[in-house]
Structure 1
Amino acid sequence: MFKRILLFAGLLFFYFLASVLIHEAGHAFSGVVFGLGTPIINIWPGIELFPSIGATVSTTAWPGSSVAYVSFIPETPRFVIEFPESVQSLKLKPELKVVTKKTSQDGDLLPIVGLMGSGTTYLVSLFCTLYLYFIKPKGVYRVLAACGTFLFYDILCYTVFPVFFGMPHLIFIGGMHPEPIICLVGIGYSYEIAIALVLCICAAQTLALCYLSRKEGLFKLKRT
């Protein structure tokens, strides 16, 4: 009995760790796509996971009780020397131009990047649900997909506990701010609509899992 409890606790820890990495990877990837710079992924208690592995070298204080966070190093300007297209003269005057990229200092894209943390875990959860419904995998693939369907807990907890109870999103640890709601408001939704939207998509995901569980069972190891 004790071994089973220990095994379950170990699996739960690795599941949580995987969800944290997916969450932070969502921030990092979307930040790269929108040109915020080079992402640095740090995880508690002060370990840098990307782009190198080791003690975090961040000069900023750890953000409260957060489990992990992503920061960005803005891209440095690139210097480009361009020559005029004229071929009439051998005396060409090169023109030096500074090519810059949009960085996080502009702030317009930060709500989207912020949303893509919990948003990514939800999208993975949705993908796994559709995979179970349409592909109907068996064995280990079904177990992995079934585990992935529950990743929407991230956006749900990030909303429910901070908004309704004033608690960290993991009750005892995690950020105190409802990150998905703040980002949705930053995009343009009202506070009430943002909360309702998150609760609705999580309710829909829960109903879908109940349907799959009753129809075939989520964790079905039997091979055909």
Structure 2
Amino acid sequence: MPPLYKLLVATLLICIVLPLSVVTHEFGHAMTGQLLGKKNARIIVWPGWQIYPKFDSSKQAEWPKGAIAQTMFVPPRPNLRIENSRDYLAQNILFKPVVRVSSVSLNEKEIGLVSLMGSGLNWLLSVLALCFLMIFKNNKFMLIICTPFAFLYYDLVTYSLLPTFFDLRHWIFWGGSKAEPLLALSQFGWDHNLAVVFICTIAIVQSVSTLKVLNAQITGSNFHN
């Protein structure tokens, strides 16, 4: 494969994977919340399109400025029916909800887990992609497909460090401004500095491992040597 063609393929894949990482980030929040009992998760992406559980473009007018995506858990709205109750006088009207209304409250650690699993899901996907690169060492198709996903741990790093140390948003000039993974770890009782060191360590270890695997793939050397 010519070098220019490889560069174009890599650029195309990165342009696909980066927006996809926003969606997987929000799915991490939504699926974790639903597993913990929260209902009616909705994922909305810029410029105000709801993409889960169904597509809806009606929210563009109320889209918050600077946001890339957001996950919401909307309480169900009961439909009310009117019944004439035999136990009451004829003029009395009884309202009964058609659906049962329930609201699950999460404790602090569960809220922290929901927050963490946005970046956490992308990190797990990056670990999985790295594992595939190590297992399928001589497979060019796997190399092309898995390499962009192997760098999804960027999400954990940028969401933590850019707002904390550089007063930037998650995507430098776009996105949220809260250090979401650090705030989530604090809800588990982690010290802020320890959480920063932990995330930096993950970034360094995974960067070194990923670059070593890719170098072995490209040069044809044996990763284990």
> What is the TM-score normalised by the length of structure 2?
0.76
Deviation at 1:152, TM superposition (A): 0.6
Deviation at 1:52, TM superposition (A): 1.2
Amino-acid identity (%): 27
SS of equivalent residue, structure 1 residue 55: coil
Distance 2:171 2:216 in 1: 31
Distance 1:200 1:56 in 2: 42
Once the two structures are superposed, the pairs formed by residues 196-215 of structure 1 within 5 Å of their partners are 196-215=197-216
Deviation at 1:210, TM superposition (A): 1.9
Deviation at 1:39, TM superposition (A): 0.7
Distance 1:183 1:191 in 2: 10
Deviation at 1:64, TM superposition (A): 4.7
1:135 aligns with 2:132: no
Deviation at 1:110, TM superposition (A): 1.1
Distance 1:213 1:65 in 2: 35
Structure 1: which 5+ residue stretches go unaligned? 78-97, 220-224
Once the two structures are superposed, the pairs formed by residues 1-224 of structure 1 within 5 Å of their partners are 11-57=13-59, 62-74=63-75, 100=102, 102-104=104-106, 107-136=108-137, 138-217=139-218
CA contact (8 A) 1:75 1:103 kept: no
Distance 2:213 2:6 in 1: 26
> What is the TM-score normalised by the length of structure 1?
0.76
The residue number in structure 2 matching 1:85 is: none
After superposition, the CA RMSD in angstroms is: 3.0
Distance 1:136 1:107 in 2: 43
Distance 1:218 1:38 in 2: 49
Distance 2:69 2:43 in 1: 7
SS of equivalent residue, structure 1 residue 217: helix
CA contact (8 A) 1:28 1:70 kept: yes
Residues 115, 53 of structure 1: alpha-carbon distance in 2 compared, 3 angstrom cutoff: same
1:174-221: per-residue Cα shift (whole Å, max 9, x none)?
A: 1111110011101210111111111111111001012112222399xx
CA contact (8 A) 1:23 1:118 kept: yes
CA contact (8 A) 1:42 1:49 kept: yes
CA contact (8 A) 1:42 1:48 kept: yes
How many residues were matched structurally? 197
SS of equivalent residue, structure 2 residue 205: helix
Residues 10, 210 of structure 1: alpha-carbon distance in 2 compared, 3 angstrom cutoff: closer
Amino acid across the alignment from 1:48 = Q
SS of equivalent residue, structure 1 residue 42: strand
Deviation at 1:161, TM superposition (A): 0.9
Distance 1:75 1:54 in 2: 18
Residues 216, 196 of structure 1: alpha-carbon distance in 2 compared, 3 angstrom cutoff: same
Residues 187, 62 of structure 1: alpha-carbon distance in 2 compared, 3 angstrom cutoff: farther
Moved more, 132-141 or 165-174: 132-141
Structure 2: which 5+ residue stretches go unaligned? 79-99, 221-225
Residues 197, 63 of structure 1: alpha-carbon distance in 2 compared, 3 angstrom cutoff: farther
Deviation at 1:15, TM superposition (A): 1.9
Deviation at 1:14, TM superposition (A): 2.0
